[in-house]
Amino acid sequence: MGKEVKDVGTVKIADDVVARIAALAALEVDGVSAMAGNYTSDNLEKVSRNNLKKGAKVMLGDNEVKVDLALMMAYGFNIPATCQQAQTRVKSTIESMTGLTVTDVNVRIAGITMPKA
C-alpha cells in the first residue's frame, strides 16, 4: 500500500533563512521588544525581508545549528525567564521547520526599551 521513498537529492537551507526563523521566533516571546537591529514585531510588515535576520546570527554545521541572538527587552520583564523562553521558542521553531538540531541558543541583551509615555 505505501511506497518506499528513495533518496532523490539533498536539501540545503541558507543561513539567512535560519536566521530569519530565529528572529521571528524570538519576537513572539512576551518581553522581547525587538532584535538588536531595532525591528519590533509591530514594524515587521514594513521591514524588508532581508533585514529580519538582524540581531540573529547562525552557524550551520552538518545537520546542526548554533544561534546567537541580540535582543532588546521590554522594561519590567524578568530577563532570565524571558531569555529562557526565547531560547526554548527559537530552538523548537528551528527544529520543527528545518529538521536541523539546534545545539546552542545564546542570548545577549543589547538594551532595554522603555514604555511610551
Structure-block grid coordinates of residue 69: 541572538
HEC readout, 31-72:
CEEEECCCCEHHHHHHCCHHHCCCCEEEEECCCEEEEEEEEE
Task: Tell me if the pTM is above 0.85.
Answer: no
> For the packed helices 15-27 and 79-98, what is the interaxial angle rounded to 10 degrees?
140
Q: pLDDT tens digit string along 26-56?
A: 999 999 988 886 444 444 443 444 455 678 9
Task: Tell me what pLDDT residue 12 has.
Answer: 84
Q: How far apart are CA 35 and CA 23, in angstroms?
A: 7
Task: Tell me what pLDDT residue 1 has.
Answer: 47
Under 8 Å CB-to-CB from 33, ≥6 apart: which residues?
A: 40, 72, 73, 74, 113
